[in-house]
Structures are given as C-alpha cells and as structure tokens.
Amino acid sequence: MTADLSSLLQQYIGLKIIKCKGYHPNYNQSKTNYKIAKQPIKSWTDAEIFTEDKMEKYERWIKDGGWIGLVIPEGLVVLDIEFDDENMFRWLLKQFPMNCIIHKSNNGIHAIFKNDEKLNIRANTQIISKSGIFISSYKIGNKGYIIVAPSNNRYWENELDFENVDTISEFFAPIDMNNIDEILMAIAYRIGFWYENEQLNGYEDIDCAFGGFLVEKGIDKEKFFDVFYNIYGDEYDEKQTEYAYKRALERLSTGEPLRKSGSFIMRVKEQLDDKVLLQLLHRFETLMGKIYTKQQQKQTINIAELGIGKKIGEILKSQRKMVDWIAPSFIAKNYLMTIAGKPKVGKTYLILDIMKHIAQGKELFNNTIPTKKSKCLMFEGELPLDGLIKRLKMMISEYDDIDEIYSNITIIHKHELQNKGYELDLFTEDGKELFENILHHYTPDFVVIDSLSAFHTATEESSSEMKDVMLFLNSIAVKYNCAIVNIHHLRKSQNTNEDKDIDIDDIAGSNTISRFSAFLYGVKRYKKETSLYNTVMKDVGSWYEVIKSVKWKLNFRNGKEILDYTEIDKLSLQPYYFAEFFYKKSIDLYGFPDFDYIKLQMNKYFELDESSVDY
C-alpha cells in the first residue's frame, strides 16, 4: 500500500478502530448500498485498540473495498453536520474561533469537541442548536462510532490531537423550543449567515421585512436591538437599527399593512429554501401568539365571576369530595401513579395483568380489590409491538372475556407514531398537543405510559424540566378524568445487597417524579427466592393509604403465562375507599345510592359492623 495510507493509519494507533462492511465484495454484494456499507462486521463494542501489528491487515481490508470506523474516545462529542449547515458552521467558527477537529465526509463534516457535562448533550438525532445550526446527530464518546478516512474518500482536515480540542460551546447545545430568547438568537445567526453570503439584502430583507415581522409579533425594542446585533456583527449600526424599529412601529400604529413582514417568510420559503429557519420562525410565531392570548385573558378575567377563594369555614362545612376509584385503595381517576423498577423485573407483565382485569371489570390480586370496568390506553415505547401483543395474548385465559379485553384495551406504539411523522415528546408543546389529542379521541379511563423516559426529552435529573412534564400529566389526568400510570426505572445503586427494599430515593431522576405521583410503587425481584421467582410491588410513598404490598410469581400453565399472587397485604386496604367505590357504583347501577347494596358489597371484603363506615 501507499505511504500515504500507512501514514494515515499511524494516526489511529492507540485508538479503537473497527472494520465496517464498506463496498467489500464479501459483505456488500451490490457495492452501492450505503446503509450496509456503514455497518461494522461485528459489534462496534468489541473494537480493540489499533496497534502497529494490525497495520497490514487493515491496509489489505481498505484495499479490498472495506471501510473503517473510529470508536469515539471517551470525553468527546461529535457533531454530524450536513449540506448547507456545514457552510454555516464554518462561518460561525470565523465569527467565534474555536479549536476543533474536522473530518470531511461525503455529505458534510464531523466536528469533534470535548464534551461538557453541564450542557447535558446526549446522543440524539435531528437537532437544532442554539446557534441555529441543524445537527444531524450528536455522537457521544465511548457510546458510538463514525466512519473515518480513508473510507469512501473521507479525510481529516487537521491533526487528530484530541487532547487540545476546545470544550464544546453552548452555541452547539440543543435549543429549547419553548424559549423565545433562544429561538430569536438562533434565527438571528441563520439570517446573519445568509446576509454574509449575500442571499439577504440588509435594508429590504432584514431592516424592513424582518424588522416589520418582529414588531408585528410584539417584540420589544431591547430584544429587537439584540437580534439585529447578532445578525450584523461587526457591521451593526445602532442608528440604522433605531430607524428600522421606529419605521416598523409607525407603520403598525397607522394601520399601514406590514406587507414586507409577510414577504420575509415567503423569501425564506421560496428563495432561500431554508427549512430550519422557517421552522424557527413558525415556532416563534406560535409562542408569541400564546403569550398574546394569555395577556388578553389576564385583561378580561373577572375575579368576582371566577369565584375563586373560599373561607376556611366554608371549606370545613362543605361535603368531602369522593375519590373516583377504578380500584379502591389502588387506582384512582384524576391522579398519577408511578411504578418503578429495574429492567425486566416484571413491570410490564404486572401492568398488562392489571389492564386485562379492569378492561373486564374483574377483581385484582386474587379477588382482593374490585374494579370498575374501564377503557385502557397504553403508550408503549420500549417493547416491540408484536412482542407486547403476544405477551398479552399469552396472559388471556379461558375464564377471560376476550371481546371485553379487545374492545377496551388500545395500544399506541412510539414507532407507529414516528412512522407517521409524529414525535410524542411530553416535554415539547407539539408532543403535549399530540398526547392530548389522542386522549380526546379515545377517552380512556386508565392510561399507561411505558416507559416515562421513552416519551420525553427532558433531563430527568432536572427538577424544572421534569416539573413541566409532571404538571402537564397531572393536568391531563384531571381534565380527561383518567388515571395515568407511568412505568419508570430506578437509579443505578451502589448497594450490593440485592434483597434490600426499594425506597423513594431509589426512583431515578428528580424527586419531582415522586412528588407529583399520588400513588407510588416500587417493584423488586428477590434473588433469595428459589425456582419460579418472587416479585413484589410495594408502596414507597403514596399520598393515600393504599395496598402496601403484593407478591407474585410468573407461572406457565397450559401454554399460558399466569401471574399467581402469593402474598397480599389485605390489612392495608381502607374500608372508607371501598365504601366510596360502591357508593358511586350503586349510583351507576340504580341512579341513586343504594345502601343495602353498598353494605352487601362491603361485607364481601371486610368484616364490618353497621357503624364502622360513615356513608
């Protein structure tokens, strides 16, 4: 092989390199399938450190058409930037010089920086950064690989000196699409790029058209000036900006149509064809519209008519509102439940068994707790849909009403939504709107999110971000009168005692998740149990006096998977909650509270005298 190739491979000594299929005839018959070409011939996690003695073998591999991949060293982050945004990235580096390694690929570049844990950048795809640059993906050190030179004409633009690259700037962190200031700055950088490349005219396109757009949407003078400063950089003219702002205000105050503001959107759409800038502009419009609506509502609220605020005497005299139970002492409408446990501990088996029972209105846990027949809706984000359906079918026995189960359980899979072009992200406004529209359509009584982490992009350790998610779910539970169950996971414990009980501090993420869950359970499989395993669900901090523990085994009988409940803490069940449940049920059955019916039903579950329950 050539000396150039040998010199190139010398750079990889000490790094982890893997063989990828490339256009090698033994692995890629068509020699043109790019997707196959990027695949490693064995798992990238098995990559070994590249050493001098492997040089000849890799030279031969490349000569035969194979590619190579570099496992990203720990502590680094790779930005995969394509097409027009490569030019914008290089333009931004001129404005704000940063030392990074650039690797040129066929469709763009890989830019390599040191990672900054404070920015909380995670492996992700299709991101708009705070600088307005569209990043195809973040790749995190020791968690992935990239195809590297000399594969398919790739090359390094500078030396592989990973020690001396700069820490990634906040410019390249993901934008918060609910933060107007961040969106405005991202818009400014993209407009500045187009201006620098002479695709936008300073006076006509930016001062008049874009300036009019900002004023029309309600941006104040200070933000207006900040945006223009970021657009023009060294060419910023404060007097010219003052004139642009005043002129837009004059046209707005006189009722003169701000036609140029509309023409700016058309210019972006039709001539620049900048889909990222268009997305940012539309998101900005949406958020400003919501602010305007809230301001209008604030101006028109009549506190007297609203009727908020009650004196403590009125509250104490008023009748206690009953809890709307689906299963008394366990599941209630209008509230959140969190069930947390390690992967593969049996959380999904448990929730499928619960759904199967309440879809038929059958008792739970060996006839311990009655249920109200309910419509169930499950959002699945982890198990394959076929596997989930198969598991549910395996749990249906000859004693079950199949028609009730089939008609009362609906499953929506995350990938099913993604294939339709939708992302159910409970941390974004669009994702929240989609979630609410789905609930409005199906009107469920019982909603399961499996798992919570699969349906949001919030940072789980962040109290403020998770508060946004949990407040939304709480409001939806009340608005649509349903119970919402979040399947969640546990922290990675340093405790080696496998039989230690779960407590509230073991639940992963911010304690906001626990704090906003009215019903809170941990699921644990105990190693000391022999043969068919024992799994237990325990209350770890619910608001109500709920059933404290339920233990079960997963058994296989007659080709079916059966949850046999072996130990149930019946003493923790609350008669008052059962009385509430049957009080409401008697009204559903007879149109009025039938106390004979309530007493009869109560006696099935408790040994009570006449005065033990206050109806």
Q: How do residues 504-536 score in pLDDT, each as one tens digit? A: 888 988 888 999 999 999 999 876 554 445 899
Distances (CA, A) of 390 to 82, 349, 386, 394: 41, 12, 6, 6
Adjacent-strand bridge partners of 16: 49
Cα 415 from chain centroid (whole Å)? 13
Q: Residue 107: pLDDT band by 50, 70, 90 thresholds? A: confident
As a whole number, the mean pLDDT across the chain is: 87
pLDDT-based confidence at residue 293 (cuts at 50, 70, 90) = low
β-bridge mates for residue 8, sequence order: none
How far is Cα 165 from Cα 104, in angstroms, rounded to an integer? Answer: 17
SS3 40: strand
Residues 6+ apart with CB under 8 A from 276: 85, 128, 132, 134, 190
The C-alpha torsion from 42 through 45 and 48 to 50, rounded to 10°, is 90
Q: What is the DSSP letter of 272?
A: I
312 vs 222, higher pLDDT? 222
What is the distance between the alpha carbons of residues 268 and 128, in angstroms, rounded to a whole number? 17
Nearest-10 crossing angle of helices 221-232, 180-196: 40
pLDDT of residue 615: 46
- At 465-515, the pLDDT tens digits run 899 999 999 999 999 999 999 999 998 764 545 567 788 888 988 888 999
Extract the runs of DSSP E, i.e. beta strands, from 64-213: 67-71, 76-82, 101-104, 108-114, 124-128, 134-140, 145-148, 155-156
pLDDT of residue 375: 97
What token pair was written down for 520?
């809170």
603: tokens are: 């006696």
CB distance 429 to 395 below 8 Å: no
What is the distance between the alpha carbons of residues 362 and 357, in angstroms, rounded to a whole number? 5
Cα within 13 Å of Cα(250), Cβ side = 7
β-pairing verdict for 446-450 and 376-380: parallel
Extended strands (E) in 227-288? none
Question: Among candidates 9, 3, 7, which has minimal Cα distance to 148?
Answer: 9
Q: Is residue 1 pLDDT above 50, yes or no?
A: no
Nearest to 237 by CA among 206, 191, 199: 206
Question: Using 50, 70 and 90 to split pLDDT, how confident is the model at 2?
Answer: very low
At residue 36, the 3 state secondary structure works out as helix
Q: What are phi and psi of 297, to 5 degrees?
A: -65, -40
pLDDT-derived band at 84 (thresholds 50, 70, 90) equals confident
Calculate the alpha carbon distances from 396 to 71, 297, 552 in Å.
46, 51, 17
Nearest to 357 by CA among 330, 327, 312: 327
259: tokens are 């036609």
What does R_g of the chain's alpha carbons equal in angstroms?
A: 30
DSSP for 490-533 reads B-------TTPPP-GGGBSS-THHHHT-SEEEEEEE-TTS-SSP
Mean pLDDT for the stretch of residues 357-364:
97
| 446 close to 375: Cβ distance less than 8 angstroms | yes
Q: Which residues of 234-246 are buried (b: 16+ CB within 10 A; e: fewer)?
A: eeeeeeebeebbe
Distance of CA 199 to the CA centre of its chain: 36
CB-based contact 84:112 (threshold 8 Å): no
Residue 241: which of 183, 213, 280, 202 has the closest Cα? 202
Residue 307 has pLDDT above 70, yes or no: no
Phi and psi angles of residue 19, each rounded to the nearest 5 degrees, phi first: -85, 130
User: What pTM was estimated for this model as a whole?
Assistant: 0.53
**Pairwise CA distance, residues 224 & 187, whole Å:** 12
| Per-residue tokens: 404 | 């009730």
As given in the structure block, the two tokens for residue 218 are 């309600």
Q: What is the pLDDT of residue 410?
A: 96
> Please, which residues bridge with residue 341 across strands?
523
Residue type at 381 in one-letter notation: G
What would the pLDDT profile of 377-436 be if each residue is shown by its tens digit? Answer: 999 998 998 989 999 999 999 899 999 999 999 999 999 888 888 889 998 888 899 999
Integer Cα distance of 5 and 149 in angstroms:
9
Measured CA to CA in angstroms, residue 368 lies from 8, 98, 549, 575 at distances of 70, 65, 12, 12
Q: Dihedral of CA 595/601/607/613: which sign?
A: negative
pLDDT of residue 234: 87
Amino acid at 591: G
Nearest to 100 by CA among 88, 87, 113: 113
pLDDT at 204: 85
What DSSP character marks residue 234?
A: G
